[in-house]
Chains A and B, each alone.
Chain A
Amino acid sequence: MRFLHHPFHALGGPCSLQLHAADAAQLQRAAAAAEAEVRRIETKYSRYREDSVLSRINASAGDAQGVTVDAETAALLDYATAAHEQSEGLFDASSGVLRRAWDFKAKQLPQQAQLDALLPLVGWQRLLWQSPRIVLPLRGMELDFGGFGKEYAADRAAAVLQAAGIRHALVELGGDIRVLGPQPDGAPWRIGIRHPRAPESAIATVELVGGAIASSGDYERYFERDGRRYSHILDPRTGWPVESYAGISVLAEQCLVAGTATTIALLKGREGRDWLQELGLPWLLIDAAGKLEGSLARA
């Protein structure tokens, strides 16, 4: 059994594939195909590329005719709709416009007037989605697949590896992980969960023989001002960051579902804990003091 570690940079962060197979050429082929799949999704749903499907949708904002989308995009929009419903409106792929007011690099607090001007453009319920046609009724509305594109890419990369005959692999895209089978000797993959306040060290270790784990927290993008921490976890109803846990990890069959559950739980703030318990997937919460709580079995 041979092993290949294939690191690359995509989706705005470090990515890596770890795979085992009998044949070195097969490993190379499979890794190249999986990386190509991640890049395909990045290109297709990039906000920064004018020719992307997402840019085409966003460019149509204000046009009552909207645009028609392909089957894959349609399924992603259906997914975003389901996540919006199940989160009672908190998970909102149209909330990206709030970025225009929040500049995490400049560490600037927005004016309430800025947010008030943007909030009418936020709201999944405002757009008209009837497959295969999507209409963003107001000029200035935009969609952003950042909330689930990376997780979807992890699932797709794993599917590509599996189709290439790989039975033992770990896909990591910017901290979200999907594994394919155990390691060749049957041992589980050991996955370290980042300490929210010391990102280079692991606060817990989880063992996986299949499925996915997604993690998110207030440590990914934030700034501190006047002793308060302003994170990227913005409530689409108010435009302000949610006071939430420092870190949340959720384990699921699909990375997409794990990632969405993590995001919704963060957006729920202090109610996130009860929501996760109700959801039924294994979960782990880390509070600002580094205290752990949850049903996720730690190794």
Chain B
Amino acid sequence: MAAIKNSKALAALTHAALALPGVAAAEVQTDYLYSFYQEKDTPGSQTSSGQSVERYQIHSHMFRAVMPMGENTLGANLTYETMSGASPWWVQPDTNGKPVNVMSGASIRDERVDLQGTWSLPIEPFQAAFSLGYSAEDDYEALNGGAELELRDDERGLTWTGGLGYSDDQLKPEHGTSSPNVIDSESKSTLTLYGGAAMVLNAATVVQANINYQRGDGFLSDPYKLAWIGGSTVADSRPDGRQSWALSGKLRHHLASSNAAIHVDYRYFHDDWEIDAHTLEVAWHQVLPDQWRITPALRWYSQSQAFFYAPYYQAARSDGFASSDYRLSPYGAVSARLDVSKALENLALGAGVEWYDADGSYALKSVDVANPGLVEYLSFQARITYRF
């Protein structure tokens, strides 16, 4: 047999052939993703001790395998994460009334294992997908399941999608120096319903609209966080129900002249804790010669605060709720991301970096008192895909 020269023509034809459903059917696709997430230290000016404190970092490893079996496709995902560092315990006023963080101390160290299985198959006239997952940490256990149906209307260039998901979570917080009086065990459940439609406007433009409803019930507070009320601290306490709605629109436009595509995504979120949020993301996908692709993206986010949130309280609320969690505070955030990928014959490689900064000044409406716990982070991701 002649030595395989692996010419460009052969690589191009093989690449296109393997993209066909089932031509690579015998082949199993496997992926490995590594990501590293590091929050910026909280400066001394924002902590009660006056010392800067190292915050959260997460190392995440994900293994994924997708195996087509005739018309069925089976998938499995295994994620292993280690988290460590300090996070805001509570917020209290300093001598000038400025809110400062009391940090949990670098005592948090946790591991998370998450296993997800998916099964997709055609159920005429739909394409259906089912999923089941289990996630465990030292102090947390969750079981989730989901179902999704997709219907294509090729005549009108429409694709309809609808689905539901359910998650049942058990919390068993650990007692520690930063959590001496924590609850023993609690549970919560989350139901998600969603639907959407994608429509092809013309050869170069696709638009998509989605609606999402979520309902959480049970213990929705953070067992490790406290709130400061008039000189003493109480456990973080939130309503035991939360309903949210989200509307999103996506635009994908291909620019043939520059061999690139622009993606514009907008999302509006509202919940019955009175948080309103807007997200706008713009990404440019540039295809380069030799199967390279580069994607710069920018995102802006803004939210209003939950009705019961305050950085700290002078007096207890009549409804008994109290939370100083920065995630319920009014703030805005910007992020910039750059992703590069390269496809080889059976192999694809990719890497990306993201910088994110949350601050009161990025918010849509002016924020009087920004939460001192708002994060700035850098995250790095590398991934490899292999088909065999």
- Segment from A197-205, A227-235, A278-286 that makes contact with B: A278-286
**Contact, CB under 8 Å: A78 / B22:** no
Hey, what's the 0/1 contact readout for A61-99 against B, CB within 8 Å counting as 1? 000011111111001101101110110000000000000
Complex interface: chain A residues within 8 A of B13 (CB)? 79, 82-83, 86, 257, 260-261
B180 at the interface (CB under 8 A from A): no
- Segment from B94-102, B170-178, B199-207, B328-336 that makes contact with A: B199-207
Q: Which residue of the partner chain B has the closest CB to A275?
A: B9
B21 at the interface (CB under 8 A from A): yes
- Segment from A19-27, A125-133, A183-191 that makes contact with B: A125-133
Complex interface: chain A residues within 8 A of B25 (CB)? 156, 159, 162-163
**Contact, CB under 8 Å: B7 / A163:** no
A143 at the interface (CB under 8 A from B): no
CB distance from A102 to the nearest CB of B (A): 27
**Contact, CB under 8 Å: B19 / A130:** no
CA distance A79 to B14 in the complex (A): 9
Instruction: Select A69's contact among B14, B16, B70, B154, beta carbons within 8 Å.
Output: B154
Complex interface: chain B residues within 8 A of A83 (CB)? 13, 16
Complex interface: chain B residues within 8 A of A129 (CB)? 203
Interface centre among A69, A155, A162, A281 (most CB of B within 10 A): A281
A245 at the interface (CB under 8 A from B): no
A238 at the interface (CB under 8 A from B): no
Complex interface: chain A residues within 8 A of B3 (CB)? 280
CB distance from B291 to the nearest CB of A (A): 12
CB distance from A141 to the nearest CB of B (A): 15
CA distance A297 to B19 in the complex (A): 29
**Contact, CB under 8 Å: B157 / A133:** yes
Chain B positions 237-270 with a Cβ under 8 Å from a chain A Cβ: 254, 256
CA distance A191 to B20 in the complex (A): 26
**Contact, CB under 8 Å: B9 / A79:** no
Count A-B pairs with CB separation below 8 Å. Answer: 115
Instruction: Select A79's contact among B1, B10, B20, B204, beta carbons within 8 Å.
Output: B20
Chain B positions 131-161 with a Cβ under 8 Å from a chain A Cβ: 152, 154, 157
B side interface size, CB within 8 A: 36
**Contact, CB under 8 Å: B4 / A130:** no
**Contact, CB under 8 Å: B20 / A130:** no
Known: A79-B16, A257-B14, A261-B13. A155 touches B22 (CB 8 A): yes
**Contact, CB under 8 Å: A280 / B10:** yes
Chain B positions 343-386 with a Cβ under 8 Å from a chain A Cβ: none
CB distance from B212 to the nearest CB of A (A): 24
CA distance A194 to B14 in the complex (A): 26
Q: Which residue of the partner chain A has the closest CB to B22?
A: A159
Chain B positions 1-40 with a Cβ under 8 Å from a chain A Cβ: 1-10, 12-23, 25-26
A179 at the interface (CB under 8 A from B): no
Q: Which residue of the partner chain A has the closest CB to B157?
A: A68
**Contact, CB under 8 Å: B22 / A164:** no
Instruction: Select B203's contact among A70, A128, A162, beta carbons within 8 Å.
Output: A128
CA distance A155 to B4 in the complex (A): 21
Q: Which residue of the partner chain B has the closest CB to A162?
A: B26
B183 at the interface (CB under 8 A from A): no
Known: A76-B20, A282-B1. A65 touches B12 (CB 8 A): no
Q: Which residue of the partner chain A has the closest CB to B206?
A: A132
A293 at the interface (CB under 8 A from B): no
Known: A82-B12, A164-B70, A260-B13. A130 touches B256 (CB 8 A): yes
Q: Which residue of the partner chain A has the closest CB to B67?
A: A163
CA distance A212 to B306 in the complex (A): 63
CB distance from B203 to the nearest CB of A (A): 4
Complex interface: chain B residues within 8 A of A28 (CB)? none
Known: A75-B21, A133-B202. A86 touches B2 (CB 8 A): no
Chain A positions 95-135 with a Cβ under 8 Å from a chain B Cβ: 128-130, 132-135
A160 at the interface (CB under 8 A from B): yes
CB distance from B336 to the nearest CB of A (A): 29
A253 at the interface (CB under 8 A from B): yes
**Contact, CB under 8 Å: B9 / A278:** yes
**Contact, CB under 8 Å: B10 / A159:** no
User: What 5 pairs across the A-B complex have the smallest Cβ distances?
Assistant: A280-B5, A295-B2, A159-B25, A82-B16, A163-B70
Q: Can you give 5 contacting A-B residue pairs, CB < 8 Å?
A: A75-B19, A82-B16, A163-B25, A163-B69, A279-B9
User: Which residues of B does A touch, CB under 8 Å?
Assistant: 1-10, 12-23, 25-26, 68-70, 152, 154, 157, 200, 202-204, 254, 256
Q: Given contacts A72-B20, A155-B20, could you give 13 more A-B pairs where the C-beta distance is less than 8 Å?
A: A67-B154, A68-B154, A68-B200, A69-B154, A75-B19, A79-B19, A133-B157, A159-B26, A163-B70, A256-B20, A278-B5, A278-B9, A280-B4
